[in-house]
Structure 1
Amino acid sequence: MTNTAPVSPLLTPYTSAALHLPNRLVMAPMTRYRAREDGAPLPVVADYYAQRAEAGLLITEGIWPHRRGQSGWRVPGLETEAHVTGWRAVTEAVHARGGRIFAQLMHGGRQGHPRSRLLGDIPAGPSAVPVPGPVHVKDGTAEAPVPREMTAQDIRTAIDDHVAAARNALRAGFDGVEIHGANSYLTHQFLADNTNLRTDAYGHDRTRFAVELVTAVAEAIGAHRLGLRLSPGNPQFGMSERDPAPVYRALTDTLDPLGLAYLHLTDNDDYPALADLRPRWSGTLIANVGENHAPTTRYQGERVLAEGHGDLVSYGRAFLTHPDLPARIAADDPLATPVDTEHLYTQGARGYTDYPTLADERSGTATGASLCQAR
């Protein structure tokens, strides 16, 4: 019998001036701590991303642009030649399977602790406002330090660090770069009310740092190779934005003419960012509706496309546990494989590259994905 089931719109191709994708599924960035102590990605990282290369686009976990922005122990970097070499193995593995991959640059800002930073120093952010509660360090937990307030020179240096790392990303073979302007990291800290208490130009206009950063990186590598992730109103790690709409409308209006590869935007229960900002963004918009919610389903993603709130949809946990997510959506699989939480943030292949494909499950060989290698 011929299968006449309609093709999910998530599996239809997408083409823009910057992107040529076989489907509209984007793997969202997810920190996994599979790096050496110096920040170079472990060999198993290449297996992990290659397994998921059938996504329309892969976005890596957050990568620090310079150790000055390191947010945690065994979070990877893109500062040194060892980093570039390690990431080149990843991009080559992804490209060998026909995939496309962007590197997410994630400067921690106030996020971090001397016991989890190669420099062993106090992190710096827009203002001297610490992260609430204890933080994870390489040997347990500790009270969050009060960050040092960034000087004007610190701000210029942070922008320069992003530019250098973006160039390193292209040398490593990445197809582009995403700036992490969300989820409580440096750029988000400049945008939010409670982490930006500055009285200078970067405080009077909370979008200024983001605009200067994005503009500088776009000039260095080309706007068509650059994306930006934002999470308006996201309360993670003690962030507070009382009225995010005016800030993000102004930011979107300023950045839209640059012609970025995409804007990657998370929705929020209190501020419907997708509905509000989609009309203001003329380029490609990647929508994420799973942040701070249950994992995104096939039907939620299809609804985003049907409502016109995004051109592409990013999936996090579904890609984590289903390396063959496009095939599973095509088969209307329930996406029920559970997360191995015990090994979520360890350094080996277990809980990382050993999730079965649908073909494995149907053939009775669900002992791990075929690309998983013992390294």
Structure 2
Amino acid sequence: MKSKFGISKNVDFAKAVTEALGGVSNPVGLVYICPYEMIESVGNELTSRFPGVPVLGTGGISYFNDTIDDKHLQIMAVTGGAKMAAGIIKHIRRAPLSEIYTLEKSVQEVGAGADNTICLEFCPYNEEVATSTLNVVLEKHKISLIGGSIFDVPEGKDPLVFVNGQVYKDTLGYMMIKNTEGKVHMFKENIYAPTDNPVHIATKVDLNKRELCCLDGRPAAQVYSEETGVPVNQVCDNVFVNPFGRVVGDEVYIASMKEPGTNGGLINYKKIYENDAISILSVLDYREVAEETKRNIRSKVSNPSCMISFNCCFRYLFFNSENYTNEYLKNMATVAPNFGYIAGGEQYLNQHVNQTMVCAVFD
């Protein structure tokens, strides 16, 4: 797949679009990230310049290789070797199964294949429902899901997506991308792992609040405090060091603590279900983890053309506190040109996760 990434610091949206496109005149599809107040104007400008070309955009913090920015426009222009179709799933606050016909239409439009197509999405909230809804179609066609929860929305404003000429709220926006020149490979990176401590069982939860009430029949915060030595009233402040992990076979899916709940419960950014196996994770040597990720990608993708990635905002904040963000992004860019988004949560295959990096690498 052929692509070109660009950034503009121009505050005039039309000039910013011209600069970020960098001479691209016949794109197959366009994905952009920009400041919140520019979402609609940038999207309209792209739609006007390239009628009929699928466009997907949102606001927040984006990066291209080691350039990370929350104040300017960044565009990923796919210029060849791909088929693309953009669409929406509306009414994401409730079960939106009535909307999936649009996703099926997009699958047919690009002629999606099992190992050469991804569904890239930006989700405003209700991520577990969104992930399940999308996979009603995607799993049937063996298409991989990758996406991020919209992050860095101004206080009092709604998360927005722009798709094909219109801006939406309460809506998931997606882009179906088929690589016609090779495969698409999926990867996930955790910098946390279970310890030697026993795995706990979630014995009481409140799914509506994403609250883990009890582990092993006892208040979750108390169990966490006893295992880590962190005072009960400081548990949520320790999320960068010891988040929860939902253990499924050999896989671990991270759930970040958000705030204290009731009676010793803990409200999280990911739902934990009753009878889930839960481990309290510990942070690894993140530099070595990044090197292992690079080795893994290179062993499976001999000639990558580009990478699309989502990094959790908590990883971003943790890496910033360690003065590691730019080093990490520069390191990953040695694998392939890397266009990415700092997300409030990550969607990967059939899971919504926290504190994770997920990426799609194209031949």
TM-score, normalised to structure 1, is 0.30
Question: Which of the pair is proportionally richer in helix?
Answer: 1
Larger RCO (alpha carbons 8 Å, 6+ apart) = 2
TM-score, normalised to structure 2, is 0.30
